[in-house]
Amino acid sequence: MRLTWLALLFVIWAGATSACRQALVLALDVSGSVDGLEYQQQVSGLAFALGHPDIRAILLADTDNPVTLAVFEWSSRNHQFLILPWTDIDSAAALEGVIARIESHRKVRAGLKTALGTALSFGRGLLAQRPACWKHTIDVSGDGRNNVGPLPRQVYGAGFDRITVNALVIGNPRVASGEGPGIEPNDLRTYFEAEVIHGPGAFALVANGYADYARAMKRKLERELELPFFSRVNPDR
């Protein structure tokens, strides 16, 4: 007996709901411009943001169709280190395990350059392992411009058609007052917006130094993890 169109649509919908709703790769900068304290602020800031009640609520809102996370650190072309392999956030316990793993990590740096294009290619490879997810997102943190290897726009070819790349731009707030080296936050944001972000709805947010990382990451995750409209219980709220 033939399936009616309604029955066929239901089968397709039921198959879709068995997948994760978003695969999110978080890429942390560990290039030479990031000292030990700044790296720790980055790691602890990410852990704080993931554990914030607002982000926790979003992550656990639909555990039947969970968000799945992977986290890696990057610097030069020869360094991409996986901190967290793909993990489904399908329970409070799973989220706590992710936070604990991130908090306990100590940087493993090999190379001091800033290979953004290579890092994004690595993120693409990770996302290829999760083809069934509704959304594919790379969240890259960085405090400098690409200075080795392919440029981001040179890797945005095959394999990036379903991927959105967002950026957390870590500017140096001391530059404006002449207190230290670095790139003024808005100048760096302009670079990331022109050269790095990619895909529908892509955006860049600025952290005014690593001390501001936790706040900026929390705000960024709120935008990245917005629930699809068809999974919201109260869409008018």
Return the CATH number at 26.
3.40.50.410
- 71 pLDDT higher than 90: yes
17 domain residue, yes or no: no
Question: CA 210: distance to chain centroid?
Answer: 16
Say if 117 falls within a structural domain.
yes
- Residue 7 covered by a domain: no
Looking at the 3D structure of the chain, how many domains does it have?
1
Q: Is residue 237 part of a domain?
A: no
Beta bridge partners of 138: 25, 165
Mean pLDDT of the residues in the chain: 86
Residue 10 identity: F
Token readout for 77 is 């072309």
What pLDDT does 182 receive?
57
Q: What is the pLDDT of residues 14-46, one digit of tens each?
A: 344 458 999 999 999 999 888 889 999 999 999
Considering the entire predicted model, what is its pTM?
0.85
Which residue is listed with tokens 């808005």?
186
Is 186 contained in some domain?
yes
pLDDT in tens, 207-227: 999 999 999 999 999 999 986
- What is the per-residue pLDDT for 187? 85
Going by the DSSP 8-state scheme, the letter that residue 227 receives in this structure is P
* Residue 184 confidence (pLDDT): 74
Tokens at 25, concatenated: 């790769």
Asked, for residue 35, whether it belongs to a domain, the answer is: yes
Q: What residues are paired with 5 via a beta bridge?
A: none
In a domain, 144, yes or no: yes
Three-point CA angle 95, 215, 210, nearest 5°: 105
The domain in which residue 148 lies consists of 22-227
Instruction: Tell me, yes or no, whether 235 lies in a domain.
Output: no
**Residues with Cβ < 8 Å from 44, sequence gap 6 or more?**
103, 214
Q: Provide the pLDDT for residue 172.
A: 76
